[in-house]
Structure 1
Amino acid sequence: MAQQGFQFDRKALSCSICLDLLKDPVTIPCGHNYCMNCIKIHWDREDWKHIYSCPQCRQTFGPRPDLKKNTMFAELVKEVQKMGLQSVPEDIYITGRGHVSCDFCVGRKFNAVKSCLQCLVSYCEQHLQPHYQSPAFKNHTLVDPSKKLQENICSRHNEVKKIFCRTDQQCICYLCSLDEHKGHDTVSATTERTEKQKELKPSVKKIRQRIQDRQTDVKLLQQEVEAIKQSADTTRDTDKIFRDLIELIERKSLDVKKKIRSQQETE
């Protein structure tokens, strides 16, 4: 039992950003608690958006909230530290399961928001900013975070695969188009993707319609089931009423017979 309480204290009094015991704890408007420095750094990264979020529940705040130390939590942390609660190691990932971590973060790794096909690196919001702000990166191709960036690079020429060969139905680099794919029907990968999306649009529409039809069928079936249940309940109620009436008639009949017998005996 003591061990369970120990684990509860550790979870309740830990910062979800650094995963360590709260240092100068603050409570933000949504009710979650963080180290003052941790949440400041997190919101500094969001300054360019002018919208600030909670790392846990993702609730957003318009103007940047003022931070004030939560003295009650600070006292609780001191008490827990007196009990000898150990801190969490510094070198740790805070990306969720299935997420891609930022390759530039040192120590604690934040979620990557984009991967660069030229750099072959994944970036969090903070480390991605130079790609948006510096002309040196304007020709770089940013894609959704991926753990398989190397698959977008030609293993033979070490170039990004930006061309789609329709003859061989595969992505290739520009050097491949001048070599073994010379004379093949080729287009840019972006063009091919756009055309495929157009081709798939009617199919996607049909699938969505079928899903909606299925959902409608399920709703109708649920309504029929509910109607049957109500009918069954009504039938059960009717049966009970008839049984009660029969019992009442039988009791009345028995009472009448008793009265008749009593009168006959009296006569």
Structure 2
Amino acid sequence: MASNLWSQEQFSCSVCLELLKDPVTIPCGHSYCMGCIKNCWDQTDHTGVYSCPQCRETFTPRPVLRRNTMLAEVVEKLKKTGLNPPHAQSYAGPGDVPCDFCTGRKFKALKSCSTCLASYCETPVKPHYEGAAFKRHKLINAIGNLEQKICAEHQKVLEVFCRTDQTCICLLCTQDEHKSHDTVSAKKERTGKQIL
């Protein structure tokens, strides 16, 4: 069935993030709920210049909005037959690591790449598993503020705590400037401090 190839995101308004209601397609080709784009343009009526909230293409005079009947029919059929979520996961919420690859509403990241310094949800992470170009990239469970958790010198994850210097370091640092220092895994040190 064709609906299995489509996701709700493809038929969502980028203003309200809901399924399109009374869809209209503006001259640049982007589609919105009639009410959403009217409200956006009503706020800039005094300037006489109207722009697409997505691509920022400007229009003068204000384009006449007409219901996109074909898109409206597709959305109605999809409502009846059901929609697949864009990924077998959810949107990123507070406290979640958002996917750096997603545009618009971000999905919850599953993995972070310490080589790319980016976090990925289900679909964008696939090349890391399948592509030869990503063979040497290191995937870890998704973490936020990735740049702050990578060693500036070795570009490796900071997974060791140096008790001597009271700082997080990478495994390569334990063989260099922290060689004779008192070190433990960062996880163990964090657990120990939480108990206190």
Q: Which TM class, normalised by the smaller chain length?
A: 0.3 to 0.5
Q: Per residue, is there more helix in 1 or in 2? A: 1
TM-score with structure 2 setting the length: 0.46
Structure number with bigger Rg: 1
Q: Using CA pairs below 8 Å that are at least 6 residues apart, which structure has the higher relative contact order?
A: 2
